[in-house]
């Protein structure tokens, strides 16, 4: 079985930065708490928990003897203000590209324009971003874009992990909804490259494996893109899921596999999946031969 790994896969800049902050604090002997789940990857969160680094979900849970680290997806403005006013010892590990969206929305909110955020209203990144506007409208489908009222002036930002193809579909609809429109394409460049790499790889292999958290927005987008290009696409959180006999039955007639991974997926997990298929190849050749 031939194994192909997408040109861009695994940890993105924001995740690497956050983990570097965490590890530097840990190595210095500093106690650490994370406000919210640092990233959407159960394996990484378990590794942190094993080190005594736990996620909390409200300021009431703060241990004043520990350094508070803000998650990569960011937090709502009112919570950030409470942290500053409370003089808590903290480090902001929000991805700089997410903070860029906050700053854009903050500036737009001072002007006479309707802020439109394209993204998932339930995702922590969008919950945080929305808090920087007095009244932002969130849309996440073509139908929501079509049903939007008309405005004199609208300003558009996007979730960093948004599907770039979807963004391109929505913008022409929004352009018809206002006399004036400002578009800020805030989709992370690594997200764009990762999505393009999957779109390029998926049609040329027998099946695809997408590695990443089931709650990870960018991983879900990769899966959605891959399965459109290749119906034989599987989403797993870690390599142990490949040991399922049912999975082996589905791929036994295939000769090659494409592998990609979400921005919160550790490099070692990608390597574990690669090793699995290398062993699978050897075992298959032994049986066939």
Q: How far, in Å, CA of 64 to CA of 85, rounded?
A: 14
Residue from 175, 171, 232 nearest 201 by CA: 232
H or E stretch at 271 = helix 267-288
- Tell me the CA distances in angstroms from 146 to 126, 140, 231, 239, one per residue in order: 21, 11, 29, 41
φ and ψ at residue 209, rounded to 5 degrees? -120, 120
Q: How far, in Å, CA of 158 to CA of 23, rounded?
A: 30
Q: How far, in Å, CA of 233 to CA of 207, rounded?
A: 6
**Strands (DSSP E) found in the chain:** 2-5, 32-35, 54-56, 67-70, 90-92, 114-118, 137-139, 151-158, 178-183, 207-211, 233-236, 256-261
Rg of the chain taking only CA atoms, in angstroms: 21
CA angle 269, 119, 203 (to 5 degrees): 50
Catalytic residue list: 125
Place of tokens 């090793």: 275
Q: How far, in Å, CA of 101 to CA of 57, rounded?
A: 23
Q: How far, in Å, CA of 11 to CA of 270, rounded?
A: 10
Cβ pair 77, 101 in contact under 8 A: no
Residue from 238, 222, 235, 227 nearest 205 by CA: 227
């Amino acid at each position: 079985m031939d194994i192909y790994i997408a040109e861009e896969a695994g940890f993105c800049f924001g995740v690497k930065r956050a983990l570097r902050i965490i590890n530097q604090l840990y190595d210095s002997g500093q106690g650490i708490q994370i406000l919210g789940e640092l990233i959407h990857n159960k394996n990484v969160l378990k590794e942190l928990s094993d080190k005594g680094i736990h996620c909390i979900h409200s300021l009431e849970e703060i241990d004043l003897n520990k350094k508070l680290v803000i998650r990569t997806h960011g937090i709502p403005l009112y919570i950030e203000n409470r942290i500053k006013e409370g003089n808590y010892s903290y480090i902001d590990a929000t991805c700089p590209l997410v903070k860029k969206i906050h700053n854009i929305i903050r500036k737009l909110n001072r002007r006479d324009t309707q802020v439109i955020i394209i993204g998932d209203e339930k995702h922590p990144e969008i919950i945080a971003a929305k808090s920087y506007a007095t009244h932002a409208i969130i849309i996440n489908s073509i139908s929501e874009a079509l049903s939007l009222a008309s405005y004199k002036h609208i300003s558009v930002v996007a979730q960093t992990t948004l599907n770039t193809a979807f963004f391109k579909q929505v913008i022409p609809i929004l352009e018809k909804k206002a006399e004036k429109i400002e578009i800020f394409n805030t989709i992370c460049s690594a997200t764009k490259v990762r999505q393009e790499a999957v779109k390029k790889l998926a049609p040329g292999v027998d099946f695809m494996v997408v590695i990443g958290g089931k709650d990870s927005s960018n991983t879900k987008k990769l899966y959605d893109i891959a399965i459109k290009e290749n119906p034989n696409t599987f989403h797993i959180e870690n390599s142990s899921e490949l040991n399922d006999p049912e999975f082996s039955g589905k791929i036994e007639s295939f000769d090659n596999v494409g592998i990609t991974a979400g921005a919160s997926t550790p490099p070692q997990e990608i390597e574990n999946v690669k090793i699995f298929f290398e062993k699978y190849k050897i075992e298959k050749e032994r049986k066939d031969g």
